[in-house]
């Protein structure tokens, strides 16, 4: 019943963070569009590291997964899901006012909308541990965000390595475990569908990134 106070605090805190940083550091519209993303992806990565190492004690690499542990929620995952909803909604609301030209169909409306719906479902069903395991996959987004905020921090190689290790290799292992190791829970249908879709998208986007890097290498050789 008191969780709305957390939501209000997050919304106020993120709004204040955006106002201060956009005024003092990144006034350009293209840069402003990445302020919230950079902060949220960094925070989620750190929470993901903590959750996997401390709360889960690296159980994701054990041979047997049980639904009681993994199709469940903890204090950490529940409130991270609530944070994720607020952050995505706020990105759209502030974006409509501050960086409308940077809101795109796939990366904003479809992506944010789908994740908000998924997060609402996780809150209603008490099924957010699997979400917590994926939080560390936000590291590539953090790396990309810093590069968008300041070109000096752009590293295509670091982004590609992090993306491959986390969103391809790790996510493939998580997807396999959710599909073939977990049993006897009605909530697994939605979870499995989400993992299959994200697995496909992650692999597709990684191969597109590889193709882009190959084109850039050919272009640089010609020059």
> What tens digit of pLDDT does each residue of 147-190 get?
999 999 999 999 999 999 999 999 999 999 999 999 899 999 99
User: What's the chain's average pLDDT?
Assistant: 95
pLDDT band at 220 (very low <50, low <70, confident <90, very high): confident
Listing DSSP states for 39-70 in one string gives HHHHHHHHHHHHIIIIISTTGGGSS---HHHH
Structure tokens at 115: 């994740």
For residue 60, what pLDDT is reported? 74
For residue 131, what pLDDT is reported? 97
**2-16 pLDDT per residue, tens:** 899 999 999 999 999
Q: Is the pLDDT at 139 greater than 70, yes or no? A: yes
pLDDT band at 64 (very low <50, low <70, confident <90, very high): confident
More confident residue, 2 or 78: 78
Question: How many Å is the Cα radius of gyration of the chain?
Answer: 18
Element (H, E) at 116: helix 111-125
Structure tokens at 138: 């936000």
Lowest-confidence region among 56-60, 93-97, 168-172, 190-194: 56-60
For residue 59, what pLDDT is reported? 73
For residue 2, what pLDDT is reported? 87
pLDDT band at 63 (very low <50, low <70, confident <90, very high): low
Structure tokens at 188: 């697994």
Residues 18-28, mean pLDDT to the nearest whole number? 95
Cβ-based burial of 74 (10 A; exposed 0-12, middle 13-18, buried ≥19): middle
What is the rounded CA–CA span in Å between residue 28 and residue 8? Answer: 28
């Amino acid at each position: 019943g008191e969780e709305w106070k957390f939501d209000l605090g997050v919304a106020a805190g993120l709004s204040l963070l955006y106002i201060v940083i956009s005024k003092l550091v990144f006034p350009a519209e293209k840069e402003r569009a990445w302020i919230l993303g950079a902060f949220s992806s960094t925070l989620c990565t750190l929470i993901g590291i903590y959750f996997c190492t401390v709360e889960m004690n690296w159980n994701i690499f054990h041979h047997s997964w049980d639904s009681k542990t993994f199709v469940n929620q903890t204090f950490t995952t529940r409130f991270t899901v609530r944070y994720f909803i607020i952050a995505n909604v706020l990105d759209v609301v502030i974006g409509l006012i501050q960086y409308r030209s940077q809101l795109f169909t796939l990366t904003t409306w479809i992506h944010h909308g789908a994740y908000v719906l998924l997060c609402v479902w996780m809150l209603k069903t008490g099924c957010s541990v699997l979400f917590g395991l994926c939080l560390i996959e936000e590291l590539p987004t953090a790396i990309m965000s810093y590069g968008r905020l300041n070109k000096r921090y752009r590293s295509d190689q670091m982004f590609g390595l992090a993306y491959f290790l986390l969103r391809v290799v790790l996510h493939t292992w998580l997807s396999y475990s959710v599909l073939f190791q977990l049993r006897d829970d009605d909530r697994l249908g939605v979870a499995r569908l989400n993992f299959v879709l994200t697995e496909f998208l992650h692999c597709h986007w990684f191969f597109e990134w590889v193709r882009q890097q190959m084109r850039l290498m050919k272009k640089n050789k010609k020059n």
